Chains A and B, each alone.
Chain A
Amino acid sequence: MKRLLKGGRLVDPANGRDGMFDVLIDGDRIARIGRDLPLDGATVVEIPSGYVVCPGLIDMHVHLREPGQEHKETVATGTAAAVVGGFTAVACMPNTTPVNDNAGVTEYMLKKAAEANLARVYPIGAVSRGQKGEQLADIAELKRAGCVAITDDGRPVATALLMRRALEYASMFDMPVIEHCEEQTLKGDGVAHEGFQASSLGLRGIPSEAESIMALRDISLSSLTGGAVHIAHMSARQTLAAVRYGKSNGARVTCEVTPHHFVLTDAMLAAPIPYDTNAKMNPPLRETADRDAMLDGLADGSIDVIATDHAPHAADEKQVEFDHAPFGITGLETAVSLCFDRLVHKDIVSLPRLVELLSVNPARILNVPGGSLADGAPADVTILAPDLSVTVVAATMKSKSKNTPFDGWQLRGGVAGTIVGGRVVYINESAHLVIS
């Protein structure tokens, strides 16, 4: 079956394209890109003027919670949220129950993803067996089963020695080690960014240096081993400085930032809802200077990727004392609107640069298909509506969990439709896409 995406601005930085091009999809592949392509028996999707067609977005940091915590999210609900958010693929973290440290768990995740048949799922395996930080997991087996990277996310790789071994060993498979940077003795039992807000609310602090110290360790070890390290969910300006230092010295380091860390600050701990547990995440929301540093890093190219760290939690788990609430918020269904509203429309990043952050670079770092609409590439396409007026409504989200601090926010820009492997898996009813 052929489908022709007609009209609209094609933004495909991997192939140097930005302009009015049509996209012809044949089956699950891109067949042709060109201006005013003939119908050729294809079903037409009329792209309204002002809309953008780009390679499918890839969220390289999500928690799908399955197996083990299906009350928070499943692969099916998580990938349903993904396609609503414009993501054609997600990479899911191994801190499930049991931990994804063996082929059995990886295969189970992939089986669930195939059943759901929405977004592509790329499992990320554990660095260490049980994420215990003692012994490397069977990484070759994980790779063969379909894992694209390794991480002990939720916690850092426990020791410098284990991190060294992981970087060395994973380099054999061209897999990056994704690091949750956190020096755990400095973090202690902290629950919020260490600073005036936490002090005045009486919350135990997590200093920025808990993150940057670990990033510096890992960047040094990347230089030592030649292995690729990817710094997950960067939050502190000190960490960004560490990444810049590493890049300028030739270390194989890349990094990501979440929308909440470039939109929110720790002021959210106090207002509008004091002690809002939807303002509790790890790493914590930091100060204005950190938030602004993240915007600088996005603007100047120091930051490679925007990823959501989608971390669903059930409502009753979050409706507890701030100290006792789990860390994390959902992110898949709000990311694109936040990126448009806070980055593109504020002229912090251009649209092609946004596509690099959300598609091209995650594909490159994880060595997965996508990030490109070249002839013959998989037909994973996201259609964006840059000026769509969006009201965030947590209650109607597809994710099983509704723990978002953005409920009720009015944002400019959103997702019009999502195509995975040539199949239209999501059409936003308010975006007026016409399929004939």
Chain B
Amino acid sequence: MKKDLLGIADLTPDDIYRVLETADAMREVGRRPIKKVPTLRGKTVVNLFYEPSTRTRTSFEIAEKRLSADTLNVAVSASSVLKGETLVDTAMNIEAMSPDMIVLRHASSGACHLLSRICKSRIINAGDGMHEHPTQALLDAFTIKEHKKDIAGLKIAIVGDLLHSRVLRSNALLLTKLGAELWVCGPPTLVPPGIECLGVRVTTSVDEAVRDADVIMMLRIQQERMQGAFFPSLREYFNVFGMTKERVKLAKPDTIIMHPGPMNRGVEIASDVADGPYSVILEQVANGVAVRMAVLYLLAGGVEDEAAA
């Protein structure tokens, strides 16, 4: 792998498989009575979060602690950015204290690329704007592989706000690299122009997207998008695009339902689907820790053998 993990775009299928295999070994650590290995002892990891995040930040922090890294969280609120110092200045100040890695979450696409150019520390993208969220896509792939073994040839449907979703972009890159048949579905107002160039099939029909799908991945509808008049109402959105039990019946009998969270119950997904037998949503969260441990470990330059030490 390269110095940084900026996006799935930079990974080869071999890189992806290596992360997934390493994650398998890392998961075992979380099952021990003492959930800690000394792998990253003496390494300093800064979680620099410019957007509020519960799941991703917690997941990274647990992963770092299980690997014995010294971790600290820097949460920068959007309002302090406007009057405060620039991202580059903040990063250079952190750099001056010689961390080994910076995990960055930022509202602007490309923020990680900017830090990558100026920082010696390794940069891990924990979500940049509408661009990528590579560890989410990796944990999604890990979860799919657990249930379906091979990703190649699966029909996977991603439904929701495609336009603003970094989860979509990372997943589209990853799943097409691994040979899945990827369908994406949402209202035309929320489809990124030219997205079909990524090798995905675009439809506005949920039924078409979901029919015979092996995997259904729902994307969050952000309430604030209502301001942009992308669709008339949350109620109408649920009626047209919401994942209901009836729609799930169109999929393969052994389909799985995924969601990167946080969920809007009754908007993009019905509660009985979110909590139902096909849902693997909490497994995704659990796998997130192992996958992030794998990413941290591989970027720190580890070799497979040390992993279980």
Are A and B co-members of a single complex? yes
Contact (Cβ within 8 A) B193 A205: yes
Distance between Cα atoms of A323 and B88 in the complex (Å)? 14
Q: Give the number of chain A interface residues (Cβ < 8 Å).
A: 22
Query: Which residue of chain A is the closest to B228 with respect to CB atoms?
Result: A188
Contact of B88 among A195, A203, A319 (CB under 8 A): A319
Q: For B192, what are the chain A residues with a Cβ–Cβ distance below 8 Å?
A: 199-200
CB of A274 within 8 Å of the partner chain: yes
| Residues in A309-329 with C-beta less than 8 Å from chain B | 316, 319-324
CB of B152 within 8 Å of the partner chain: no
Shortest C-beta distance, B226 to chain A (Å), equals 15
Given A199-B194, A199-B195, CB of A321 within 8 Å of CB of B169:
no
CB of A201 within 8 Å of the partner chain: yes
Query: Which residue of chain A is the closest to B172 with respect to CB atoms?
Result: A200
Contact of A323 among B86, B129, B169 (CB under 8 A): B129
How many A-B pairs have beta carbons closer than 8 Å: the answer is 68
Distance between Cα atoms of A320 and B82 in the complex (Å)? 12
Contact (Cβ within 8 A) A202 B194: no
Contact (Cβ within 8 A) A322 B193: no
| Residues in B86-116 with C-beta less than 8 Å from chain A | 86-88, 106-111, 113-114
Distance between Cα atoms of A40 and B88 in the complex (Å)? 62
Given A199-B192, A320-B88, CB of A275 within 8 Å of CB of B113:
yes
Q: For B107, what are the chain A residues with a Cβ–Cβ distance below 8 Å?
A: 323
Given A202-B128, A202-B130, A202-B166, CB of A322 within 8 Å of CB of B109:
yes
| Residues in B116-134 with C-beta less than 8 Å from chain A | 117, 128-132
Q: For A319, what are the chain B residues with a Cβ–Cβ distance below 8 Å?
A: 86, 88, 114
Shortest C-beta distance, A277 to chain B (Å), equals 9
| Residues in A172-227 with C-beta less than 8 Å from chain B | 194-205
Shortest C-beta distance, A71 to chain B (Å), equals 16
CB of B303 within 8 Å of the partner chain: no
CB of B198 within 8 Å of the partner chain: yes
Q: For B86, what are the chain A residues with a Cβ–Cβ distance below 8 Å?
A: 316, 319-320
Contact (Cβ within 8 A) B129 A275: no
Contact of B109 among A194, A195, A323 (CB under 8 A): A323
Contact (Cβ within 8 A) A196 B110: no
Shortest C-beta distance, A316 to chain B (Å), equals 7
Contact of B194 among A195, A323, A324 (CB under 8 A): A195
Contact (Cβ within 8 A) A321 B87: yes
Contact (Cβ within 8 A) A275 B193: no
Distance between Cα atoms of A199 and B191 in the complex (Å)? 9
Distance between Cα atoms of A273 and B166 in the complex (Å)? 20
Q: For B198, what are the chain A residues with a Cβ–Cβ distance below 8 Å?
A: 200
Q: For B34, what are the chain A residues with a Cβ–Cβ distance below 8 Å?
A: none
Query: Which residue of chain B is the closest to A269 with respect to CB atoms?
Result: B110
Q: For B194, what are the chain A residues with a Cβ–Cβ distance below 8 Å?
A: 195-197, 199-200
Distance between Cα atoms of A319 and B88 in the complex (Å)? 7
| Residues in B238-258 with C-beta less than 8 Å from chain A | none
CB of B197 within 8 Å of the partner chain: yes
Contact (Cβ within 8 A) B110 A275: yes
Distance between Cα atoms of A316 and B118 in the complex (Å)? 13
Query: Which residue of chain B is the closest to A324 with respect to CB atoms?
Result: B108
Contact (Cβ within 8 A) A201 B193: no
Shortest C-beta distance, A75 to chain B (Å), equals 29
Given A196-B193, A275-B110, A275-B114, CB of A202 within 8 Å of CB of B169:
yes
Contact (Cβ within 8 A) A200 B129: no
Contact of B132 among A196, A202, A273, A323 (CB under 8 A): A202
Q: For A198, what are the chain B residues with a Cβ–Cβ distance below 8 Å?
A: 193
Contact (Cβ within 8 A) B108 A323: yes
| Residues in A259-299 with C-beta less than 8 Å from chain B | 273-275
Best-surrounded residue of A194, A274, A319, A321 (most CB of chain B within 10 A):
A321
Q: For A199, what are the chain B residues with a Cβ–Cβ distance below 8 Å?
A: 192-195
Distance between Cα atoms of A205 and B163 in the complex (Å)? 11
Best-surrounded residue of A197, A316, A322 (most CB of chain B within 10 A):
A322
Shortest C-beta distance, B84 to chain A (Å), equals 13
Given contacts A200-B169, A275-B110, could you give 10 more A-B pairs where the C-beta distance is less than 8 Å?
A196-B194, A196-B197, A202-B109, A202-B128, A202-B130, A202-B131, A205-B193, A274-B113, A319-B114, A323-B107
- Give the B-binding residues of A (Cβ under 8 A): 194-205, 273-275, 316, 319-324
Listed by A's residue number, 13 A-B pairs whose Cβ atoms lie within 8 Å are A199-B192, A199-B195, A201-B109, A201-B131, A202-B128, A202-B129, A203-B110, A204-B130, A319-B114, A322-B109, A323-B108, A323-B109, A324-B108
- Give the A-binding residues of B (Cβ under 8 A): 86-88, 106-111, 113-114, 117, 128-132, 166, 169, 192-195, 197-198
